[in-house]
Amino acid sequence: MAKSAQQQTPDININLMPGKEAPGTAGTAVHWALTVGRYLIIFTEIIAITIFVISIKLSTDKIGLKENIKVLGQQVNASSKFEAKFRLIQNRINEIKTQRENNFSNDNVLTEFLKLMPQGVGLESLTIDEQDVSFTGTFKSPQELQTLIISFSESEKIVGLDISELNTPSEKNPDYTFSATAIIDINAFADRELENATSQ
C-alpha cells in the first residue's frame, strides 16, 4: 500500500501550439488553403464594410437630392407664377403703348390735315384709317378747289389727293360738293416724331 501510494503519477503534457505541418504535398496544400482562406475572409470583411459605408453615403445623398428637388420644384413653381404675371403685365403695357402710339399718330394726322384745308372749303365728314384719309366737303368756287389741290400736292405727309366725286351747284345746294381720299405717309410722320423726340 505504501509503495503504491508513493508511486508517481505520469506527467500529462498538453501542447496547445500548432504542431508541425504534415509533410509532403498535403501539408503544403493545407497551409496554402488556410493562408488563402484567411486573406479571403479579411478581403470579404473589407468589401462588406466598404459596401456598408457606401450605402450609408448613398442614402444620405438620396435624402439630400430629394430635399434639393423639392426646393427646386418650389422655385420653379414660384418663377412660373412670376413669369406668368410678368407676361400679363408686359402685354398690358404693350397694349397701352400701342393705343397711345395710334392715338398720337391720329392726332398728328388730324393736325396736319387741318393745316392743308383752305379756309373756303367746308368739311362735312372725315375718316382716318391706318393708311389713308377719306373726307367729304363743300366749296363755293373752283378756285377754292384748286387751292385744296395745290395744298395737298405740296404736303410731304398726306399725299396723293384723289377727288373721287365732284358735284356742281344745284337748286337744292348752291355749293360744290366733293368726296376725296389721300394717302398717309407713315414714314414721314415717324421721322417727324423722331426729330421732335431728339430735339427734346
Length of the chain: 200
Please indicate, yes or no, whether residues 131 and 95 belong to a single structural domain of this protein: no
Read off the C-alpha cell for 101: 402710339
User: End of a domain among 72, 97, 116?
Assistant: 116
- The verdict on residue 94 lying in a domain is yes
What 3-state class would DSSP assign to 81?
helix
Same domain, yes or no: 83 and 96: yes
All residues at 6 or more sequence positions from 139 whose CB lies less than 8 Å from its CB, including other chains: 118, 120, 121, 122, 145, 148, 175, 176, 178
The confidence score (pLDDT) of residue 195 equals 52
Q: What is the pLDDT of residues 136-190, one digit of tens each?
A: 999 999 999 999 999 999 998 899 999 999 998 888 888 899 999 999 888 877 6
> Residue 62 falls within a domain, yes or no?
yes
Q: State how many domains the chain has.
A: 2
Question: b/e map of 22-51 (b: 16 or more CB within 10 Å)?
Answer: eeeeeeeeeeeeeeeeeeeeeeeeeeeeee
Do 92 and 68 belong together in one domain? Answer: yes
* pTM > 0.85: no
- Whether residue 15 lies inside any domain: the answer is no
Q: What pLDDT, on the 0 to 100 scale, is given for residue 171?
A: 83
